[in-house]
Structure 1
Amino acid sequence: MDPSPHPLSQFVLKMHSRCDLACDHCYVYEHADQSWRGRPAVVSDEVLELTAKRVAEHARAHRLDTIHVVLHGGEPLLAGRDRLRLAAQNLSTALSGVCALDLRIHTNGVTLDEEFCELFAEFDIKVGVSLDGDRAANDLHRRYRNGRSSHTRVLRAIDLLNRPRYRHLFAGLLCTIDLRNDPVTVYDALAELAPPRIDFLLPHATWDEPPPRPDDSASDTPYGDWLLRVHDRWTAAGRPMGVRVLDSVLRTLRGASSLTESLGLAPVELAVIETDGALEQADSLKTAYDGAPGTGMNVTANSLDEMAVHPGIQARQQGLDGLCETCRECPVVRSCGGGLYAHRYNSAGGTGGFMNPSVYCADLKQLITGIRNREDQRMPTPQIPLDERHLDELAAGFGGTDAVELLARHELTVNRELLAAVWHESAHSATGTAAWETLAVLDTEAPESVDAVLAHPYLRPWAQRALRGDGPAGRIAMRGVAELAAAALLRAGHEGTVTVPTGSGVLRLPTLGALVVGDATEAQVTGGAEEGFTVRADGREYPVSHKYGADTAWWARHRFELAGWAVALEDTDPWRDAHGYPVMARLSPAATERWRHHLAAAWEWIRRELPAYAPGLAAGLSVVTPLREPTTGADISSAARDAFGAVGIARPGTPETLACLLVHEFQHVKLGAVLDLTDLYDPTCEQLFYAPWRPDPRPLEGLLQGTYAHIAVVDYWRARHRTAEGTAAHDAETRFARWREQTAEAVDTLLASTALTDLGERFVTAMGETVTNRLTDPVGPDALARAQESATRHRERSTARKQP
């Protein structure tokens, strides 16, 4: 059986199949699937033991870095402390030495007490609690069978979790939306409890059983409107906690991954283990029809590899290809992702099954476009200071999501300043003036679309060429302005037409792709149509579908939604030649697929073996530009100092090598952005320094860049030494030994240069601490000898080159 490209990493383990409340909106008991009736009330010792064994063998086989398990029900606390302890012990023991365990429990909270909290503290089990708002809101659904309110007991549980001793266990609140409840009142009631996160859920519904909507509503999108009111209240309050659905929309609008399976295009890697050991798909499918989550598999007889290739699981891992035509053509599909899979169900003929838009389609579109239109991601000041925490993260060689996003926002500010400089210093054509006015209007009405285009890594190379005056009468400048305006118009989905000068027979639309228009010198780009956009050039009309591929003249940008990383292959932008190596021409479908496969495998390797680098890379590296593969077989890669967010790479032979090139080059990208923000060294220093990885001596910035990049190289060979076998392991051990010693030496050279600023000394000292920590790893004497011999030969050759 072929393995799934997306191994399972998230599991819902049912501890108890009954509940002490009688919530009338519960998908387990009140919806179409009634399989709970035939299952044991409590999970058995055997199922717990087998589940831990299956999860561990799956994690080991796929070398996963973290397994996420939610203890669930019914109401899991009904399983009792002993059984919950057994589940935690089995999982912790099985995964010890294999990967990290993120263990959580979701409860209604009514029986939560200090003894449970002590158990959860012992195993670091995070606790999520269901609560629909104030008492009036919560009592609409969450009552005992005798009609008694559960609200007071839930508040008591939350008070317990907010105690200093247990606060670190509090994962957040889950609230199911009821339109009868005022959204601001609900939000305020939940926010008053100071949760670390709130998760608002649309009530489960399908086209067969649509969600309740008020008869007297003046809006066709009441659920979208409800959530937008929450968004506005949350934003006005300074966004004091995470709100998962809103954070997910914001992230997907920026091109990042969603935080929830109900939004975005990232593959779902989730399985449910029922109390009888049955392996099932997501619980939300219980709302579709009886038996919908079933797979016919059980932990007693089936591996999780078998579960991972079940058609129902794989149907939710296909990105755009797994959606119906209506969804694929929708302008907000990359944020919406078609909505929650269960909400697409329609038993009617012709559109039967799940190949339909969500029953909340209009609401989701209203929510996403509403947030998009409210968001202004521009930073008003030209400098964004790095606080000490972010600076220390980056100085250590890493940098998490927040730190790298901070760098990205500053680079966007720089790009805006460069665009303004191009406009003010170039001769304005009528076409350019009209495009500039369109861009200015969009910057007010749809700033996130403008920002997405202006953050394009190859804007800066274009702007620098335009400011140098390249091209006749500033044609490069005005063409670029028009291209940016047209791309922003299309991304915003607004009506209008932008006239764009073309070059070399190609219309460039940054971040979207390019259109071959032959001998035409200009083209009219018209947006606003639901199905796509239209280009007119030399009397010919080119309709381009949002599916991007209906016309062979349209070269759509290759964009891949990997697990936690959205990345594009750039093979159309003429300014992508900034990397110092020849670039590949337009890739064939087969070459594109080879790249996709390699990137997916390399990214999984990075997530698994170099997890400290993954969050920053996902936040800041959005473009990989394919370079022409050399005939020598050497590995070629580059990061351009003025193309933040992009790297150039000639596709290497293995995904592991690609992983090395990605983390190595992204180090240069990060440090370049840091140097745009801060002064780490005296720019008047003209001294050249020995660099262990170069045949020639380097200026101070060159040595700093190389040393910073080699922190990642050291960690790469450290991981390869740990994971490779045979001669590959011996080679990796030698390379690890060499590069850790020589990177530490380079750090010493930098610190001894006397050309670092105070901040630069602090930054390089932190770099050195990371490398020093690697020096304690055990390495065999043979590897040390080979490393020393290699280093000595390199220094001798370098010294010989300097001789007259």
Structure 2
Amino acid sequence: METPWRPLRHFVLKVHSRCDLACDHCYIYEHADQSWRGRPLVMAPETVRAAAGRIAQHAARHGLAQVGVVLHGGEPLLLGPRRLRALLTELHGTITGVCGLDLRMQTNAVRLDAALCELLLEFGVRVGVSLDGGRAENDRHRRYRNGATSHPQTLRGLALLRQPRFRPLYAGLLCTIDAANDPIAVYQALLAEEPPRIDLLLPHATWDTPPPQPVGPWLRTFHDRWAADDRPVPVRLFDSIRSLGLGGPSQSEAVGVDTGDVVVIETDGAWEEPDSMKTTGPAGGATGLTVFDASADDVTGLPAMRRRRAGLAALSATCRACELVRQCGGGLTAHRHRAGSGFDNPSVYCDDLKELIIAINEHPGPVAGDLGALPADAFDGLGYGYGDADAVALLADAELAVNRALVGEVAGETAAGGHLLAELERQAPEIFDEVLRHPFVRSWAVSCLDGGRDCDPDWAAAIAAAVAVRAGLPVEVPVRAHGGRIHLPTVGFFAAPAAEVTVSAAPGSFTLRWPGGRASVAGDAGARGWHAARWVTVDGVRILLEDADPYRDRLQHAATGHLDATAAGGWSSALRGAWEALSVDAPDQIGGLRQGLRAIVPLAPAPDGTLRSATSRHAFGALGIARTDPAELAVLLVHEFQHTKLGAVLDLIDLVPDDAGGDRLKVGWRPDPRPVEAALQGAYAHLAVADVWRRRADRDGGDQSRKLFRTYRDWTGEAIGALRTGDRLTPAGKRFVGRMADTVGSWAA
């Protein structure tokens, strides 16, 4: 199985191997793997030093902007203040000189006091607390070894975290689900602790040790109450499922295809897979490597870690055939385990996850701010940097409505052709819409309404003739020549021998007449001077190779002239190759491209050989590109399609306030500061490009791919940070850029 390269970004440090509670559902002490019994109580200073060095080495080698380190156990607070300070000092001193450090701790909080909070505040350690609900629910499992409750002590620690001084430490609550508990009572008890986030943990189980009862009804009840309350706090499992359904990132290893970027370092320095693997059997998750004899790169090359990065290919045939697989991702790896078949099974929680995913998909999120004609799901999906076929279809329909309005305004003022449009629309509405979707119909209309010097108001007749020809309607339309040609959008052009040519349409053919001559065109049988529009079919998608439209010159770079057959064939081949590359390097963009890509305008190549591409705000779905090899062409397609999508969003929704016109932002990809909207456009395009290079780096592990990924990722992240400062965005703009930040954060965390 070919698996991608991917660096490790999350490191769990088992700083203490014992716990002051005896939770009977704990996967460390109560499940199949009992290796904790032979490990040191605490992580020794030399082990901390070696672990920190390996993490820093890995971050430097792969240019990581940030790594996450979670202090775990056992119970990490058993270290005590002195050893905890020494450990945090070592981690900070070694890692922060190389990259950013996101430090967290998972604790039961029974030992948390003000002095420890001050220490954690000093080092910026965010704290997650394990709590299963109110006292009755929590006491079902989380007790001291003598059976006494731990609930009051945990609440005392949480009260500290809610204090204004220590609130920045509070990362959230982790609740292990027990279907015997009342989900509403658990929901209310968790909410009472005012957490910034809730994590719901499925109790670890396998097909050999299945859960005692289904948890799907419990999850759905919890979710429905949470949704009815307008989602008062993020719930990572629910938010991840919804994000994945919109093409965004997962925030949890419990759902979505496992990225394989989490690794554990035990108190003795052993590298291990995530702790959930301990439930699969003795030595579950063991690698045989330690920080003293192996680097993090050595760990990523192990078969077990490669399996975690294999994506859909690592899932069972049952999972791959499921329509929900991209949201579920097969569930947690450990939950697929069965003796005899290993991990080649659906999750033991398959039915429960299906029930939850369907519930989430049936509950669209609340709308924050004015999202115009876009549903919240479509808006968020586009904000993540993608947008599925349905979302882009909404954009395309909205742009069609704009085109119709503009054409109606121009044609209503002209005599030639304008009077026909309403009748043609009535007789052939689908063909009428197809012609008006042509990107440069809007370019023409905007030019006329803006008083453009090259505007030909009579081009409305050419639009009418194009509809009549494509629909085979028996109509005659006089069309005036423009630059020595008549051009029928989406149909073709004719080297006109006269100032005016009458187009006579009929089913399956049409005739061109002028004083002293005529020419007939039927099917593929052309006439002298007639050049049919060039269409390329790629994976069932018809794309116009637009080399003739007189209004295609609204792009930043010059278009080529009419292509000969050899050049057109070269473009066809290049586009097919690029589409194949996109299916691997940008699979989440394919659905949108299928709905929104209308035309490719071949551009004249740059004299210095650099790549060249462009779009116009007034030509939705048209991408100008100078031909290059398929791999580079794929990147340019994604880059420019981002611009055309965002332009359509901006037509519908104000993301940037009107008074931001004079503001300028410094961006990494240009030497000159950019207006806010231009910075947003650039960040949105570069987000998608970074994703392409991320996938290529995952696949080939090449230094150049990694370098390009890091460059585009950093440009995008820095621009997002600048955009989110001050009042540079409207509420909808903040939401949109927040979704972009979620995607970039899922790469860099």
TM-score over 0.5 (shorter chain): yes
Going from structure 1 to structure 2, the CA distance change for 1:232 and 1:666 (only over 3 Å counts) comes to same
- Residue in 2 that maps onto 1:57: 57
Going from structure 1 to structure 2, the CA distance change for 1:380 and 1:431 (only over 3 Å counts) comes to farther
How far apart in 1 are the matches of 2:622 and 2:30? 50
- Residue in 2 that maps onto 1:524: none
CA contact (8 A) 2:623 2:640 kept: no
- Residue in 1 that maps onto 2:277: 285
- Residue in 1 that maps onto 2:99: 99
Write the mapping of 1:365-380 to structure 2, written as runs, cut at 5 A. 365-375=354-364
String of CA shifts for 1:721-777, please: whole Å, max 9, x gaps. xxxxxxx9xxx9xxxxxxxxxxxxxxxxxxxxxxxxxx9999xxxxxxxxxxxxxxx
- Residue in 2 that maps onto 1:83: 83
Aligned-residue offset at 1:320: 1.1
Write the mapping of 1:764-783 to structure 2, written as runs, cut at 5 A. none
String of CA shifts for 1:346-393, please: whole Å, max 9, x gaps. 003xxx1111100011111111112212337889977389xxxxxxxx
Aligned-residue offset at 1:660: 9.6
Aligned-residue offset at 1:95: 2.1
How far apart in 1 are the matches of 2:399 and 2:621? 17
| Higher relative contact order structure (alpha carbons within 8 Å, sequence separation ≥ 6) | 2
Aligned-residue offset at 1:298: 0.2
- Residue in 1 that maps onto 2:719: none
* 1:314 counterpart = 2:315: no
CA contact (8 A) 2:399 2:620 kept: no
Write the mapping of 1:36-435 to structure 2, written as runs, cut at 5 A. 36-213=36-213, 222-265=214-257, 267-348=259-340, 352-375=341-364, 383=372, 404=383, 415=396, 417=398
How far apart in 1 are the matches of 2:628 and 2:287? 39
- Residue in 2 that maps onto 1:525: none
- Residue in 2 that maps onto 1:685: none
String of CA shifts for 1:173-210, please: whole Å, max 9, x gaps. 00011011111111111011110000111110000000
Write the mapping of 1:522-671 to structure 2, written as runs, cut at 5 A. 572-575=540-543, 585=572, 633-639=609-615, 641=617, 666=642, 670=646
String of CA shifts for 1:95-127, please: whole Å, max 9, x gaps. 223211100000011101111111110011000
SS at match of 1:374: coil
SS at match of 1:230: helix
How far apart in 2 are the matches of 1:109 and 1:645? 55
- Segments of structure 2 that go 5 or more residues without pairing to the other structure are 406-421, 431-435, 444-459, 473-489, 492-507, 509-536, 547-551, 560-567, 659-668, 689-703, 709-726, 731-749
How far apart in 1 are the matches of 2:302 and 2:579? 26
How many residue pairs match? The answer is: 549
Aligned-residue offset at 1:153: 0.6
Going from structure 1 to structure 2, the CA distance change for 1:277 and 1:231 (only over 3 Å counts) comes to same
String of CA shifts for 1:139-171, please: whole Å, max 9, x gaps. 000000000000001111111000000101100
CA contact (8 A) 1:664 1:710 kept: no
How far apart in 2 are the matches of 1:76 and 1:679? 44
Q: Which moved more, 1:582-591 or 1:244-253?
A: 582-591
How far apart in 2 are the matches of 1:668 and 1:82? 57
How far apart in 2 are the matches of 1:656 and 1:123? 44
Which of 649, 652, 655 matches 1:673? 649
String of CA shifts for 1:499-548, please: whole Å, max 9, x gaps. xxxx99xxxxxxxxxxxxxxxx9xxxxxxxxxxxxxxxxxxxxxxxxxxx
Aligned-residue offset at 1:592: 6.4
Aligned-residue offset at 1:474: 8.6
Aligned-residue offset at 1:631: 7.6
- Residue in 1 that maps onto 2:532: none
- Residue in 2 that maps onto 1:455: none
Aligned-residue offset at 1:46: 0.6
Aligned-residue offset at 1:634: 3.7
Going from structure 1 to structure 2, the CA distance change for 1:24 and 1:636 (only over 3 Å counts) comes to same
CA contact (8 A) 2:3 2:309 kept: no
**Pairwise CA RMSD of aligned residues?**
5.2
CA contact (8 A) 2:248 2:386 kept: no
Aligned-residue offset at 1:89: 1.6
CA contact (8 A) 2:200 2:237 kept: yes
String of CA shifts for 1:46-93, please: whole Å, max 9, x gaps. 110011110011000000111011000011111122222222222211
CA contact (8 A) 1:114 1:160 kept: yes
SS at match of 2:327: helix
Write the mapping of 1:508-527 to structure 2, written as runs, cut at 5 A. none
- Segments of structure 1 that go 5 or more residues without pairing to the other structure are 214-221, 386-399, 433-457, 477-502, 505-520, 522-556, 558-569, 604-616, 683-692, 695-701, 717-727, 733-758, 763-804
SS at match of 1:574: strand
Going from structure 1 to structure 2, the CA distance change for 1:14 and 1:462 (only over 3 Å counts) comes to farther
Aligned-residue offset at 1:258: 0.9
How far apart in 1 are the matches of 2:126 and 2:595? 36
CA contact (8 A) 1:427 1:473 kept: no
How far apart in 2 are the matches of 1:651 and 1:7? 33
Going from structure 1 to structure 2, the CA distance change for 1:711 and 1:24 (only over 3 Å counts) comes to closer
Going from structure 1 to structure 2, the CA distance change for 1:575 and 1:30 (only over 3 Å counts) comes to same
How far apart in 2 are the matches of 1:22 and 1:679? 52
Q: Which moved more, 1:289-298 or 1:641-650?
A: 641-650
Going from structure 1 to structure 2, the CA distance change for 1:358 and 1:644 (only over 3 Å counts) comes to farther
- Residue in 1 that maps onto 2:32: 32
How far apart in 2 are the matches of 1:165 and 1:7? 36
Code of the aligned partner of 1:674: L
Code of the aligned partner of 2:126: K
String of CA shifts for 1:277-318, please: whole Å, max 9, x gaps. 000011000001111201110000001110111111111111
Aligned-residue offset at 1:666: 4.6
How far apart in 2 are the matches of 1:359 and 1:230? 20
String of CA shifts for 1:475-512, please: whole Å, max 9, x gaps. 79xxxxxxxxxxxxxxxxxxxxxxxxxx99xxxxxxxx
CA contact (8 A) 1:258 1:266 kept: no
Given the two structures, how large is their TM-score scaled by the length of structure 1? 0.58
CA contact (8 A) 2:107 2:127 kept: yes
How far apart in 2 are the matches of 1:193 and 1:271? 30
How far apart in 1 are the matches of 2:678 and 2:402? 32
Going from structure 1 to structure 2, the CA distance change for 1:321 and 1:182 (only over 3 Å counts) comes to same
CA contact (8 A) 1:624 1:647 kept: no
Code of the aligned partner of 2:349: Y
CA contact (8 A) 1:14 1:71 kept: yes
How far apart in 1 are the matches of 2:76 and 2:297? 27
How far apart in 2 are the matches of 1:621 and 1:163? 49
Going from structure 1 to structure 2, the CA distance change for 1:707 and 1:135 (only over 3 Å counts) comes to closer
CA contact (8 A) 1:379 1:413 kept: no
Code of the aligned partner of 1:254: L
SS at match of 1:70: strand
How far apart in 2 are the matches of 1:224 and 1:174? 18
Going from structure 1 to structure 2, the CA distance change for 1:597 and 1:193 (only over 3 Å counts) comes to same
